[in-house]
Amino acid sequence: MNEQIQRSLQVPKRSFFLFGPRAVGKSYWLKQNFPNCIYINLLDQKTSLQLTRDPSLLAAQIHAQSKKKQWVVIDEIQKVPGLLDEVHLLMEEHDILFALSGSSARKLKRSGANLLAGRAITRSMGPLSFSELKQNFSLQQALQWGTLPLVYLSPQDAVDILEAYVHTYIREEIREEGLVRKSEPFIRFLSIAAQMNGQQLNKGNIAREAQVPRSTVDTYFSILEDTLLGHYLPAYRPAAQVREQQHPKFYWFDPGVARGASEMLYDPVDSLWQGRALETLIYHELRVYNQVSAKHRPIYFYRSGAGAEIDFIIETKKSSFQQKSQVVCLEVKLASRWDRRWEKAMRNLAQSSKLKVEKMIGLYQGKERYRFDQLEVWPVEFFLEKLFQGEVF
């Protein structure tokens, strides 16, 4: 990775898990920030096999090299979940600090592995963000190919890298770890799920298209979520309307990977796809800011029974007996000109007596900024600047 691009993740002062999809730069970040540590790479088959057979070898290896308060890095911890019991013991009895990275929490959950009972905090890493790329950020490149480090820094090889990424994911995460019994139905599902990026999920329809039972679709989506390839965006239900839709949306972690999984790398994408790619990018940036600012505000979308939709709702204050919930509304449009009709859903919600709308912001690809009474309209990049300056929420 280009050394000029500094990741926003700061080194915690205590042991931690670092979760993130493959190829987002976890290993590079760990090596840069822990240059003199004991480094155990479980992608190395020999190391992985030895520690699977005898987890106590971990303690022997560390005792031979470490001192108190020294960091130990274990990369891809989900490969040998049984090591977590040894890690727990070493933390308790020898005051050793651990950085534990992984591209999947699923195997850890399935094995019932000891997740260190709160002794290790959790951090996440995704593709490159606007705050990390700074002057190197290109909105058009991000929408077309995403912001995986390898893709972003080698855009001429984007198609090959993304194609290999999808195949590698299927081979390593799915087949080798036995997450599904048969890969063929999952591959069909993967393409359909990628094409549904940023849309409300009708899992019954997806099941019919993928030719699998409805329950299997639930399992497949949980695999995508646990292997960090995507995130649900729940519906906001403020009881402001008589009928509100409750099906969640599902956003892939990166628009380029979604494009690769949908088998559209060799075809030009239409404006509808690019619009959802823009929403995917904004959701990613909101999640990054939520972590680096330590605000951890809930994020939703809103859609009424009448079809009025708001792309993102950030809840800045929970409702209580003494106060209404407070929210920031974001409407995201691919267009280069702002249409005042796009404001209607936000303005309708702002009239509700059930909550307080603090801010209404429209995002678009134009160059001008506008203010229509309480509603702001900002170019996408201006919005991203304000987001990481803490001026959105």
CA distance 148 to 7: 13
What is residue 78's DSSP assignment? Answer: G
Residue 201 CB: number of other CB atoms within 10 A? 16
Helix then strand then coil, in percent of the chain rounded to 5, is 45, 20, 35
Question: Using CA of residue 279, residue 281, residue 284, residue 290, what is the dihedral sign?
Answer: negative
Report how many helices (DSSP H) and strands (DSSP E) the chain contains, helices first: 16, 14
Q: What pLDDT is attached to residue 114?
A: 63
Tokens of 180: 């599904």
Tokens of 351: 């009239």
Which residues in the chain belong to E strands, given as ranges?
Answer: 16-19, 38-41, 71-75, 97-102, 121-124, 199-200, 230-233, 249-252, 299-303, 309-317, 325-332, 355-364, 370-372, 375-379
Reported CATH class of domain 16-124 = alpha beta
196, 206 contact by CB (below 8 A): yes
Name the least confident of 53-57, 174-178, 200-204, 374-378. Answer: 174-178
Question: Using CA of residue 141, residue 285, residue 202, residue 335, what is the dihedral sign?
Answer: negative
Domain boundaries, the chain: 16-124, 130-274, 283-388
340-357 per-position pLDDT tens digit: 999 999 999 999 988 999
Does the pLDDT at position 107 exceed 80? no
pLDDT band at 240 (very low <50, low <70, confident <90, very high): very low
CA distance 208 to 375: 42
Which residues in 12-120 belong to E strands, given as ranges?
Answer: 16-19, 38-41, 71-75, 97-102
3-class SS string, 215-236: HHHHHHHHHHHHCCCEEEECEC
Q: What pLDDT is attached to residue 176?
A: 65
CA-closest candidate to residue 282, choices 310, 308, 311: 311
Residue 175 CB: number of other CB atoms within 10 A? 12
164-201 per-position pLDDT tens digit: 999 988 777 777 666 787 888 999 999 999 999 999 99
255, 280 contact by CB (below 8 A): yes
Q: What is the mean pLDDT of residues 297-303?
A: 96
Q: What pLDDT is attached to residue 126?
A: 97
Interhelix angle 203-210/214-226, nearest 10 degrees: 100
- How big is the chain, counted in residues? 393
Sheet containing strand 199-200, strands side by side:
199-200, 249-252, 230-233
303-336 per-position pLDDT tens digit: 987 888 999 999 999 988 888 999 999 999 999 9
Burial class (CB in 10 A: 0-12, 13-18, 19+), 34: middle
- The owner of tokens 């190829």 is 23
Q: Which residues pair with 325 in a beta bridge?
A: 355
pTM of the complete model: 0.93
pLDDT band at 242 (very low <50, low <70, confident <90, very high): very low
Does the pLDDT at position 3 exceed 60? no
207-228 per-position pLDDT tens digit: 999 999 999 999 999 999 988 9
